[in-house]
Amino acid sequence: MTLTSLAFYLFATVSVASAFMVIASRNPVYSVLFLILTFFNSAGLFILMGAEFLALILVVVYVGAVAVLFLFVVMMLDIDFAELSEGFLQYLPIGATVGLILLLELLLVFGASSRLADSNPLPRATPEGMTNAEALGRVLYTDYIYYFQAAGAILLVAMIGAIVLTLVKSNNPRRQNIAEQNARTKEDGVALVDVKPGQGL
């Protein structure tokens, strides 16, 4: 078994196992950690296939989105931060395990890349002398530019529609009157009231 095959089976096994643990874990913190591990292993599979652009997008976009997702989970579940910080040590073993697995996989990827540089390289899906990101950008912005622009317009309409649907209309909205604010005097803004003892306003 070559080093590339070993890396593939390792990434695939950890991806499937961590994806199962995402839905099997009762603790949302554990689920988020396993989800990050799934994304990293999926990125490793993309790198083995020669799609390094998709691997980087998966790590940068989705792992960042997981952090935002965890923030919303903490906000919606109303988790006590004091209690969460007190229980930090109970999350340490699973976090250290995930970090150790990622470290071993990174070392395996670097070892496999150095071995592949010396041996016969994998067949490339892109033209010779062109990176994966460059080839993807050239195809996307030349052959499929109209479809790309249409997708952007659809996303823009969807964003505007979401804003319109969630907009709360008020019958008596407060609006700023700049002329009235500039003409405001001390007599208009301050009122002296003589409060007698034992009485309120």
What pLDDT score was predicted for residue 10? 85
Indicate if the pLDDT at residue 162 is higher than 90.
Answer: no
Alpha carbon separation from 11 to 4, 7, 37 (Å, rounded): 11, 6, 10
Indicate if the pLDDT at residue 153 is higher than 90.
Answer: yes
Residue 31 included in any domain = yes
75: phi then psi, degrees, rounded to nearest 5: -70, -40
What pLDDT score was predicted for residue 32? 80
Q: What is the spatial distance between Cα 79 and Cα 29, in angstroms, rounded to a whole number?
A: 11
- Considering the domain architecture, whether residues 143 and 102 belong to the same structural domain is answered as no
Indicate if the pLDDT at residue 100 is higher than 70.
Answer: yes
List, as one string, the DSSP characters of the chain.
--HHHHHHHHHHHHHHHHHHHHHH-SSHHHHHHHHHHHHHHHHHHHHHTT-HHHHHHIIIIIHHHHHHHHHHHHHHHT--HHHHHHTHHHHHHHHHHHHHHHHHHHHHHHHHHHHHHHSPPPPPSS-TT--HHHHHHHHHHHTTHHHHHHHHHHHHHHHHHHHHHHPPP-SS-----HHHHHT--HHHH-----PPTT---
Confidence category of residue 154, pLDDT binned at 50, 70, 90 = very high
Mean pLDDT within 177-198: 82
- Considering the domain architecture, whether residues 97 and 46 belong to the same structural domain is answered as yes
Name which of 46, 45, 35 is nearest 13 in CA terms. 45
What pLDDT score was predicted for residue 21? 86
- Considering the domain architecture, whether residues 54 and 86 belong to the same structural domain is answered as yes
- Considering the domain architecture, whether residues 33 and 117 belong to the same structural domain is answered as yes
- Considering the domain architecture, whether residues 149 and 80 belong to the same structural domain is answered as no
What pLDDT score was predicted for residue 160? 92
Residue % of the chain over a pLDDT of 90: 6
- Considering the domain architecture, whether residues 30 and 94 belong to the same structural domain is answered as yes
Domain residue limits at 146: 130-161
Domain count for the chain: 2
Q: pTM of the predicted model, to two decimals? A: 0.51
What pLDDT score was predicted for residue 151? 92
Indicate if the pLDDT at residue 150 is higher than 90.
Answer: yes
What pLDDT score was predicted for residue 40? 86
- Considering the domain architecture, whether residues 59 and 138 belong to the same structural domain is answered as no
> 3-24 and 28-48 are packed helices; what angle lies between their axes, rounded to 10 degrees?
160
- Considering the domain architecture, whether residues 26 and 119 belong to the same structural domain is answered as yes
Confidence category of residue 61, pLDDT binned at 50, 70, 90 = confident
Confidence category of residue 84, pLDDT binned at 50, 70, 90 = low
Mean pLDDT within 39-68: 82
Residue 170 included in any domain = no
- Considering the domain architecture, whether residues 80 and 110 belong to the same structural domain is answered as yes
Mean pLDDT within 154-171: 84
Mean pLDDT within 116-145: 71
Name which of 32, 17, 11 is nearest 106 in CA terms. 11
Name which of 109, 102, 104, 123 is nearest 49 in CA terms. 123
Q: How many CB atoms lie within 10 A of CB 11?
A: 22
- Considering the domain architecture, whether residues 153 and 97 belong to the same structural domain is answered as no
